[in-house]
Structures are given as structure tokens and as C-alpha cells.
Structure 1
Amino acid sequence: MLLKKLQLKTIDYKLALTMCFLLFFNSVVSAQEIIPDVVAQKPVEVPSGQKLKVDGIIATVGDYIVLDSDIDKGFLEIAAQGGNVKDITRCQMLGKLLEDKLYAHQAIQDSIIVSDAEVRGMMDERLNYMVKQVGDINKVVEYYKKSSVEEFKTYFADILKEQKLSSEMRDKIVDGVSITPEEVRNFFKKIPKEDLPTFGAEMEVAQIVVEPKVSKEDEQKVIDRLNAIRKDVLEGSSFATKAVLYSQDPGSSSNGGYYKMTRKTPFLKEFKDVAFSLQEGEISEPFKTIYGYHIIMVDKIKGQEVELRHILISPTVTEDALKEAKERITNIRNKIVGNEISFADAARTESDEKETRANGGILINPNTQDTRFELTKMDPTLYSQVSNLKDTEVSQPLLNTDEKGKKTYKLITVTNRIDEHVADYAKDYTKIKDLALKEKQIEAIGKWFDTKIKDTYIKIIGEYRDCAFANNWLKK
């Protein structure tokens, strides 16, 4: 059946994407040369009586190799992330590794560049995460059987670079794939009625946000502090070090404030406007966004892409300001409950959140870009805030702290509930469009593999030549 086939393909596609972003999924990048054929070594006896597997090359893809141990590492990493490996065969795991190697190999042929600075930023972010999980970087080094932190970082840098090359190549393939309304319609018509998907229960949610007011004096303190940091950097201090020490952006402070972006990157408009107005080496004056005040330094400009570092500092919100914000949002709630004003009109006139106030406070699902939230996939925090609300009921004032530590008060209401239902073209167009686009992307990737496999040196040896691969790796 068409839908069942699509669902299987989508599952495989999602599995592939998930596996690609595992912490250490790929093996070490080999030297840039074709590796001669060797036979994977068989287990040999060791004095303890246990089997010790001597590692060997089992496949070559262009300039990259796959070791037998890479398959074992793949299983270990999926298990470490909580995944189920029971139904994944060694042949399937090898097939996924071969895909990653071909992506990375072709990325180099297409002159896709991953900078050392970008790799360092990724490494800092991942290492910080791992150290938080286990408490000591030496435990990480020991787990990966490396003799020192430096040896592990060298090993890890190669892995991250290959992963990034693979993801950039994959993105390049699918970024050019678009779909028309006519294609979506034809896709839906091809699905037999008995195979139409069932979509889970959903709801639409609206909110009103009130921000605590920050005094002009507190704002000026932040501006002065950023100007002092800027002056130090202009006189020779390290911007990256200052970002690690002072930036309040949890997404970049640990790696020296580093970001890589284009005009399509989903950053705030004010941030992008400043970033793309600077020359290499230039540092911006302090500027304001909804998160606080920033300064930006541009490291590199490569065509339409900018590598930059930034520092974010937010003014301190006083207890008095929080109290005033709560009183204000309580008054708004009282007017809505007393039928003096509708929730939507209150959002348009009273909410401090410009992203939602124009459409009456209606939230947009960041994963689907429509207004519906499927209950089983809803953010746990949002679900806990709305799950017990009755129709038209307005929540009590909720103190919210976002990922950057910014505090606001908000009111939430459920504006619409959609029960579990069989797919309807008119009602579920966005979801159907996503399914149709994924199918088209899968087809584009499949055609890409067919072409590149023919044009690339690929060698698989030993027992793995008996695998039934999804792609024609054996060139039969």
C-alpha cells in the first residue's frame, strides 16, 4: 500500500537522520587516500580465554574507510541514547555507515568547507554536555579508550568534522526539493481510503504575555558593561574568553559565543541586521533584542555565510518589577473572566509578545508551523499548563522562565480542540504537505545515491559482501 510504503520509508529516513546526529556515531576520518583492500581479521584467542577481535577495514568509500569496530560502536551509541537495537542488523548498520561516508566524501568533492573554528565550537558544546552527564572528562576519555584528553579531542574533532560534512551534504540535497499544491493534492489522491493516516488529538492554544519592566538605570548598567568589554577586546583581549566568562546565552557561551549563520538562519531580525552590517573583525555597539543587550564580533564572511561571536547580557529584573507584572496580568485576567474583553482582543492590546499579539495570542507550533499541537508531541511544559483547562477557561497567571533565563508572566487558554481523526485534505493540509515533501526528499536522496555510487570508488570485503543493502553498494 502506498501509505504503508511511505511510512516505512519515512521511518527509515527518520532513523537515518537520528543516527546521523548521535553523539559519536561516525568512526574516525581516514587520511585522504584510497585504502588498499584488506581482509577483516577474525577473532583470536587471548590468554584469558576470551575472544579478542582484531579490528580491520571492511569497506572503503572514496577517501573514507569503515572498520568492523565502527559497526559495534554504532550499536553502542544507539543503546546509549536509549534506542532499541534489537531489530537492526549489522548489514543495516553498515549500510548507514556507508551512506555517511559517501555524504562526507562528496561534500569534499563539492568544496563544502567545515572550518576548524566551527569544529571547536561543536566540540566544546558536546564535551560540556558529556561532562555534565558523567562529571569528569577523564571518564569520557577512559570510556573511549584514549590515553589523554588531547588524544581524545583529536579523535573527536575528526568525528565531528565528518558528521558535519555529511549533514551539510544531505542538507544540500534536500534543500533544493520543494513541492507544489498540485503535487500535494496528487499525493493525497493516491492514498487508498483504507490507508489514510489517523492523526492524534490536537489543540490550539493562545497566550498573553506580560514582561516585567526594567528601569532605565538597570538597562544603562548593562550597556556600560558591554561597552567596557568591547573596549577591552579592541585593546587586545579575547572576545571568546569574554563570552565564556560573561555571556548569558546558554546556547553559545561555553564555546566562546560562536555562531555560524546565513540570512535564512532562524535568528531574530534585529540580530541578523547587525550581524550582516559588520565587516570581518568589526565589533558592534551594544544593541537590544527581546533577550537583552548584545555585542557581536564577526570572525569570517564566506559568501552569504557569516561566522561570528556574540555576548548577551540581560538587565536584572527586580522583585518589585515582577510584582508589578503579576498585578498587571491579574487585572487583564479579571477583565477577560468578567467578560469586559475577549481573550483575543486582550492579547492584541495588552500582550508584550509581538510574535503572537497580532493574531489574538494564537501560538504557532515550531515543529509544523501551523496552529495545532498534537497532544502526544506537545512540549511537556506547555502540556502541563493546558491539559487541565476546560473550554474557554483562562489559566491563573503563570511565571515563565525561558531558556535564556528571561522571566515573564503569562495567561493561557485553549481556543480549539480537535479529536483524533482520519486525515482530511482540507483540515490537515499542512501535515499532508509534510508527508508529500518527505516522500519527494526521500526520492531525491535515492536518486543522488544511485548516481554517486556509480561514480565513486567503493569496496566492501569479507562476509559483508553477502548483505542485502538498500542501496547498490556492491554495484551489481
Structure 2
Amino acid sequence: MTSEITINNKIAFLSLMLISGLGFSQVTDSIPDSQMELHEPVTAMAMETDKDTVNDFKKIKLDGVAAVVGDYVILDSDIDKTLIDLRNQGASTQDVTRCSLLGKLMEDRLYAHQAVQDSILVSDDEVNATSDRQIQSLVAQIGSMDKLLRFYHKEDEASFREELYKINKLRMLSEKMQQKIVEGIEVTPEEVRQFFKKIPEDERPVFGAEMEIAQIVKSPQPTAAEKQKAIDKLNTIKADIEDNNASFSVKAILYSQDPGSKSNGGAYSITKQTGFAKEFMDVAYSLQQGEISEPFETDFGYHIIYCEKIRGQERDIRHILIQPEISQKVLDNARKELDSIRQGIIDGKFTFAQAALNFSDEKETKFDGGLLRNPTNFDSRFELTKMDPTLYNQVRNLKDNEISQPILEEDPRGGSPKYKIMKVTNRYDEHVADFSKDYLKIQELALREKQFNTIKKWMKDHIEDTYITVNAENRDCNFANNWVKE
């Protein structure tokens, strides 16, 4: 970035860079429905580019090439696709220029090119597992593979997977290179202090209104009889598959209660890095190809797993989830227990923190007075404008020292429902950054600046050492980096 950028602008850029990872266009494992606008395909392929060696550069029509970075060619069409992707994701493109998009695409290719030079590896298993998760998520959202192929204007699944493989390979190489550049970077308290001191008073960041929230949770448990019913049902399904050659896929569609895989026959492709429950992964990797597990339990319920195929460290599996039923009586008892706890706090028999420690079923919060932690930075404060909408709606009408009535909350991941009571323990008005009160936030900004400067220096050094050429039509761009090497 140029030296004219103010500290506040730099902070804004750093936040964008670290939130977006690779920047403007990424394929994620889950794409919200709000991005799926059917009038024009969401360009999940927006970062696609053909990887050609510089020796093959002459074979490509010259006016179709925007730039070459090391072994990667960026076509004019790549810029167009990235712009479409931005619009489909609802981002404002008013101030986005082709030059800025080209510069970002060149950065991504430089990271990926150098990753290869530094022998940073991304295995086929990793890439394929990522692609499989993305496809499973997209199929679940759109409805079927046929609809997905029509949506992306692809003739068959093989060509779709090939294209997605190229995108994910480049993205993952780029991410690993960026992680390597900034790994181990830390800031000392003195560096944080110096960072804050150099910000002019009239340019110090303003932090929005925040609150701290505590909760006490009761998680109703199914009875032993209901658990056994789930196990018996899975054993019956397993026996029908093994003894009568019934289809595991069909059984999953009919009976599984996993919303993420039910529609595609319970199918998942996993590696040992897949973030499933430990019990689930242990069973999946204990099976031989063609084997079906015995019923086993996780926090989500009871499962059986069928190991369909083994490819090195990757497994193609199918599973069926049955959740033991929690009776209305058990739910009502949990609500009544929370009513009693709430009244005890109001009557002064114990504090909210004491009640959380003694009565809450939520291990993550009970030992900290029920205090929730912000998942973005593990701070106890939640900025109102950035809060999860569901959480915000649960507490927005609570007054100081008021305790909510019991709230029934469904588990979005498919687990059992739970009841909770909530309290806003502290409120913080919008304010200009204060070193003592906002140290953690300032520390994070100082770390981001140090990472930014490290990446900036890395980029400058490697641009000088890498074969780069920019099409004549793009040489007048005011790039942030010295791509034209003037």
C-alpha cells in the first residue's frame, strides 16, 4: 500500500485482508442461501485460471492474457469472473476497478507460485476432500447434482470436479504460503504501546457499543429407554443391509436425521483433518472397506458408519444418524428447573455466577460465571453491530440486571435442544479506543500491522525475484505493488 494511506485506512485494510484470507473470491465449505441467486450463476469458479508454464505462454492468444506470474497465467476472463463473483456475493463494486482486481489475482498467484518453489505441499487428498465438502454443501442447498451442474453450466460432474480441483489447489497453496510468512509473528506489550502512541488522537479507531453476556444452560437428556430405541433401530437397519443386501444409501435417505448428508445418502468424504467429532472419526478410521460399524454415540445421537472406499488417508463413507427422542415431559422439567434457578437469583439466594457454576450443563461457560466468549477473538465482549443475529435477538430487550425467561434453543448442527436463561452483565458505549480498556483489541491491531508489514516486504522481495509480465493494456494501472517493475 502507498505511504499516503492513513493508519485508520491501513487498519481497515488489515481487517479486510485477514477476514477474507485470499481476498475477493473464495470457495467456502458452506455458501449461504443469500448468495445463491439463480438469475446469474454464483461464480464459485471465479478464481479459476489455467496453470500454464511460461513456455506455453506463446500458445495463448496474446490479447486474452492479462498477466503472467511465475508459472501462472491470468486471463482477461479471470478478471471478469471475479467481478461477477463479487456482485453475486452482494459486495459493492462501485469503487472496484479491473486494475485492483488484477492486482489481487496477481498476489494470489505469486503466493501459490512461491509455495511450489518452497516445497509447500497440498496433497490431492486434501484438495479432493475440500472439494467433496463443498459439493455436498452445494447439493444440499440446491437439491441435486443435476441442478448443481445446470446452475454452474457444467456438462458433467467430472468437469465440475476438475475445475473445482484447480481452484482449491491454487487457493490452498496460497493460504499455506501466507500462513508460513506470518507464522511465529508476535507483538510485545511495548510494541503494542508504541503502536497505539503513534496513532494521532483524531485518527484513533472508534469501537462500537458492546456488551458482555452470561448464560445458564440446561441440556435435557433422553431417557435410557429412548437411547436403547435408537440403538435398536440402527441395529435393525444394519441387519437389513448385511442380511438382505438393502441399500445403505436408501436407508440413509429414509431414516437418517443428519440434515447435512441425508439427501445424498449419508455420504461424506473425510481425511484425518476433517473436523468431525472425535468418536465419529475414530470409528470411521477403524473400519475396513465395505464394513459397517456397530452403533456408537456422539453428542449428536447414535450412528452407524459404512466405509465405502479407502483412498490413502481419505475415506468415502456413509452414515446414518438416529437421535433419541426427548419427551415433552423432560423438556418441561428442564424449563421448570431454570425457572427455579432464575427465581433463586432474583431472591438473592445465590448470584448468577454461582448458579452457573453449580447448575449449568454447559462446561465451556459454567466455570467462568456463565460468561460467553466471542468466537472471533475469545474476548468476553460482543460488539452489537457484529453479533450473531440469533444471540442479539435473545438479549436485545434485556435491561440491566434483568434475567431472561427460559429460552428454548435448537442446535443448528442437529444436536439436542436446550433451555437457557441469559443476563447482560456489562454494557460498553461506543467510544474512542482507550489503551487500558481496549488493550486486547489494540494488541490485535498491532499484530495485524506487523503481519501486514512482513507480508509487504515479502511481496516486494519476491516480485523482484519472480518472472512477471503484464499485458501492455494493463501497464498503466496504478498497482499497489510494483508488478510492472519500473
Normalised TM-score (structure 1) = 0.82
Which has the larger displacement, 109-118 or 461-470? 109-118
The SS at the match of 1:370 is coil
Distance across 2 between alignment mates of 1:308 and 1:430: 43
Identify which of 350, 360, 370 aligns with 1:351: 360
Matched, 1:35 2:56: yes
Deviations 1:15-43 (CA, angstroms, capped at 9, x unpaired):
6644242533312342466432478666x
Q: Report the CA distance between 1:224 and its aligned residue.
A: 6.2
Give 1:48's aligned residue.
none
Amino acid at match of 1:160: N
Distance across 2 between alignment mates of 1:128 and 1:453: 38
RMSD: 3.8
Deviations 1:340-370 (CA, angstroms, capped at 9, x unpaired):
2221111111110011001110101111211
Which has the larger displacement, 178-187 or 106-115? 106-115
Q: Report the CA distance between 1:248 and its aligned residue.
A: 5.2
Distance across 2 between alignment mates of 1:121 and 1:190: 46
Matched, 1:153 2:161: yes
Distance across 1 between alignment mates of 2:386 and 2:199: 25
Matched, 1:7 2:7: no
Q: Which runs of 5+ in 2 are unaligned?
A: 28-43
Q: Report the CA distance between 1:97 and its aligned residue.
A: 0.8
Distance verdict in 2 for CA 1:290–1:16, change over 3 Å: closer
User: How many residues are paired up?
Assistant: 457
Note the 1:303-382 alignment, pairs <5 A: 314-382=323-391
Identify which of 200, 223, 232 aligns with 1:192: 200
Give 1:126's aligned residue.
134
Distance across 2 between alignment mates of 1:300 and 1:274: 17
Matched, 1:21 2:26: yes
The SS at the match of 1:178 is coil
Which has the larger displacement, 412-421 or 462-471? 462-471
Note the 1:324-473 alignment, pairs <5 A: 324-405=333-414, 406-473=416-483
Distance across 2 between alignment mates of 1:360 and 1:154: 50
Distance verdict in 2 for CA 1:139–1:392, change over 3 Å: same
Amino acid at match of 1:105: H
The SS at the match of 1:466 is coil
Which has the larger displacement, 2-11 or 203-212? 2-11
Distance across 1 between alignment mates of 2:281 and 2:48: 39
Note the 1:42-53 alignment, pairs <5 A: none
Distance across 2 between alignment mates of 1:275 and 1:174: 36
Q: Report the CA distance between 1:146 and its aligned residue.
A: 3.6
Distance verdict in 2 for CA 1:192–1:164, change over 3 Å: same
Identity rate, percent: 45
Which has the larger displacement, 211-220 or 338-347? 211-220
Distance verdict in 2 for CA 1:230–1:468, change over 3 Å: farther
Distance across 1 between alignment mates of 2:155 and 2:311: 35
Which has the larger displacement, 153-162 or 340-349? 153-162
Amino acid at match of 2:129: G
Distance verdict in 2 for CA 1:276–1:149, change over 3 Å: closer
Distance across 1 between alignment mates of 2:407 and 2:356: 15
Identify which of 65, 81, 90 aligns with 1:82: 90
Q: Report the CA distance between 1:175 and its aligned residue.
A: 3.1
Which has the larger displacement, 194-203 or 124-133? 124-133
Distance across 2 between alignment mates of 1:83 and 1:144: 20
Normalised TM-score (structure 2) = 0.80
Distance across 1 between alignment mates of 2:25 and 2:241: 38
Q: Report the CA distance between 1:273 and its aligned residue.
A: 10
Which has the larger displacement, 445-454 or 9-18? 9-18
Whether the 8 Å CA contact 2:209–2:430 is kept in 1: the answer is yes
